[in-house]
Amino acid sequence: MNTFGELFRVTTFGESHGPALGALIDGCPAGVPLTREQVQRSLDRRRPGQSAVTTARAEGDVVELLSGVYEGKTLGTPIAAMVRNVDQRSQDYAQLAKEDRPGHADRVWRERFVHRDPRGGGRTSGRETLSRVIGGAVAEALLAREAPALATVGWVSQVGPLVLPLPSAAVTRAQVDAHPTRCPDAALAAQMEALILDAKGKGDSLGGAVTIRVEGLPVGLGEPVFGKLKSLLAHAVTSIGAVTGVVWGPDDLEARLKLPGTQFHAVRADGRPSDAYGGIQGGLSNGEPLVLRVLFKPPATLTEHAKAGRHDPCILPRAVPVVESMVSMVLADLWLLQLARPHRA
């Protein structure tokens, strides 16, 4: 199960301390504007060593486009992209080859596969997500051509006990990237940074949440019955390591669930659907902004292992472009599916 998608298909490969990681994207139509620099910009937002709140592993994550693109446009053939590993320190994992980290995939992978690569977590490492970002960059290029009004933006909305309420106005990626924590609220971002650095010094870690908002979706994107937009997004984002749940819609959804249906489903004063649906009704987009909150557990490398190695004390800042990429791949796939088999009379 290393391939994601039906028509827009992304296959990822590589291990954390192997020679390289990458992605093979099949199903992207010809003529989509795409350059190596576009993919590189996406990878730069995810790469390690960006600040003191992330791992110190010094990887430039320089991408090579091997096929599928000519003169700045896709050819309609498979797009192969690769990033070579250059700063592995496999000796840091000598003890972890014998000692399972609580909460990590170490034990279950060892028992399932017996022969595995323990260096840096192998395929279970967060480094695997760079392949997803490559796929997401291609998906965004396709969506930019097909649906230029569509905008997918994610941000860190929670670190430990610190929570940012859902902003009433749209958030831009420039606002998100203005601070290393990727929280668009400057004051709260500073508090989050201090909290993460404190946990890092203690060999501890922090979890939290990434919020995604998609603006400009048309009505009706999704495939009944098992290809509902909600179910495909849930599958996509929960396939990311350390994700423990997904919540749709507003911050106070749990409180709203205590209300009777006449209040929960109340149409707003401007005639628009309730925002309690998170932009999805009947498994299809309803034309409203799509909002979901993705919950992450704290990283499982702790205490002396965390201090001796190079690990993220909080993966949320670097998870933002990964979650955006998975959402974009779902939307690109559904867009092609709708073009291939329209459900209109």
Torsion angle of alpha carbons 142, 145, 148, 152, nearest 10°?
Answer: 10
Q: What is the mean pLDDT of residues 15-26?
A: 92
Whether the per-residue pLDDT at 40 is higher than 60: the answer is yes
How far apart, in whole angstroms, are the C-alpha atoms of residue 231 and residue 223? 10
What integer pLDDT is reported at residue 80 of this predicted model?
Answer: 98
CATH topology of domain 3-340: Chorismate synthase, AroC fold (3.60.150)
What integer pLDDT is reported at residue 14 of this predicted model?
Answer: 92
Whether the per-residue pLDDT at 274 is higher than 70: the answer is yes
pLDDT in tens, 114-126: 777 777 666 778 8
Domain spans of the chain, in order of start = 3-340
What integer pLDDT is reported at residue 212 of this predicted model?
Answer: 98
DSSP letter string, 282-297: TTEEBSSPEEEEEEEP
pLDDT in tens, 286-332: 999 999 999 999 988 776 555 555 678 899 999 999 999 999 999 99
How far apart, in whole angstroms, are the C-alpha atoms of residue 180 and residue 193? 8
Query: If pLDDT is split at 50, 70 and 90, which confidence band does 159 have?
Result: very high
Which residue stretches of the chain are H helix? 36-46, 106-113, 129-146, 173-176, 186-201, 229-238, 253-256, 261-264, 303-308, 316-340
Asked if residue 151 lies in contact with residue 212, where contact means CB atoms within 8 angstroms, the answer is: no
Query: If pLDDT is split at 50, 70 and 90, which confidence band does 94 have?
Result: low
In the DSSP assignment, the letter for residue 274 is: P
Residue keyed to tokens 């970002």: 133
Least confident of 92-101, 190-199, 224-233, 257-266: 92-101
Whether the per-residue pLDDT at 156 is higher than 60: the answer is yes
Q: What is the mean pLDDT of residues 220-242?
A: 94
What integer pLDDT is reported at residue 293 of this predicted model?
Answer: 97
Whether the per-residue pLDDT at 163 is higher than 80: the answer is yes
**Helices and strands in the chain: count of H runs, count of E runs:** 10, 15
Asked if residue 206 lies in contact with residue 199, where contact means CB atoms within 8 angstroms, the answer is: yes
Query: If pLDDT is split at 50, 70 and 90, which confidence band does 133 have?
Result: very high
Whether the per-residue pLDDT at 55 is higher than 80: the answer is no
Query: If pLDDT is split at 50, 70 and 90, which confidence band does 56 have?
Result: low
What integer pLDDT is reported at residue 307 of this predicted model?
Answer: 52
Cα dist. 94→18, 103, 117 in Å? 16, 19, 11
Q: Give the percent of the chain with pLDDT over 90.
A: 66
